[in-house]
Amino acid sequence: MKLRALALAVVLLGGCDNQSEPAAKAPEPPAPAPAEKAPELKLSAEDLAAADRVALVPSPAEMERSLAHAGVEQKLASMVADRTISMDVENKDQIAVRAGVVLADLVLTVKESKKETTIARLDTLKVALGKLGAGSDVPAEIDSLKASIENGELSGDDLVQEFDELSQVMVPELEYEAGEWVVPLIEAGSWLEGAHLVSGAVQEAKKFDAANDLLRQPEVVDYFIEYVNREGGSKAPDEVVDQLKKTLGTLKEVAAKPTLGAEEVATIHNATGSVLTLL
């Protein structure tokens, strides 16, 4: 959204220049153009840096693929709890985390779930994002996706890809509409749900030799720790952050170990579950 706004500003400035007299124009464009673009390049660099950090967090679909690659046959979709996550809460931090969990469940179950279940989860997500202050583009995108599902235009792998893109592309745009604190908390909910399910699958399969590759993610843990420890109460309300800090502290200790075994996998499963049970 920011980049589109900057592009629009450049177009508008160019249009004004084109309406100027030809003789006066020759000396003027070179000077203003670089001056206008310098700050824009800085903003773009910051946006790209932020995008790189977001890319550290594996999506639920990536977790699913990694699980299969490691030889763990359990399907995460079968482990997703059959529940309705209510968005009838006042605290926006909880709404954001809940939205992340719903988003993860959507991505993981979309191929196996009934059409009605998928649409119901989309409705829940739409309510959550609306309460978080998302602009009209976000619910409109969800409505479009719902219509495609209802009409049978999207199914199977195509639908999985759509939801994967929804979690990675559309969610970061919320930062512009809803505030800086929203994206990390949605990411946290989605990632914690994925990590909880993956650790459970590893336990069931007793495939602990794959734990290092699947669950040892110090960069991701550091990303969330850096965020929750930032100054300023408006960055994230305290209710969820307190438990999140405890869980992330535990996960950081686990990630520091050279090898993960059955005990560490159980610790990850319990630590992530301690946040999810708050919902």
Residue whose token pair is 């794959």: 210
Segments making up each domain of the chain, as ranges: 2-42, 58-276
The DSSP 8-state label assigned to residue 256 in this structure reads: T
pLDDT tens string for the chain (279 positions)?
A: 333 232 222 222 233 333 333 334 444 545 544 444 333 333 344 443 444 555 556 777 788 888 889 999 888 889 998 888 999 988 888 888 899 999 899 888 888 888 899 999 999 999 999 998 887 777 888 898 899 999 988 877 788 777 766 665 566 667 777 777 788 888 888 889 999 999 999 999 999 999 999 999 898 898 888 877 765 544 555 666 688 889 999 999 999 999 999 999 999 999 999 988 877
Three-class SS string for 25-93?
Answer: HCCCCCCHHHHHHHHHHHHHHHHHHHHHHHHCCCCHHHHHHHHHHCCCCCCHHHHCCCCCCCCCCCCHH
222, burial (CB in 10 Å: exposed 0-12, middle 13-18, buried 19+): middle
Long-range CB contact pairs, 65-72, < 8 A, 24+: 66/198, 66/213, 66/214, 67/198, 67/201, 67/214, 70/207, 70/210, 70/213, 70/214, 71/207, 71/210, 72/201, 72/202, 72/205, 72/207, 72/210, 72/214
Sequence-distant (≥ 6) Cβ neighbours of residue 75 within 8 angstroms: 112
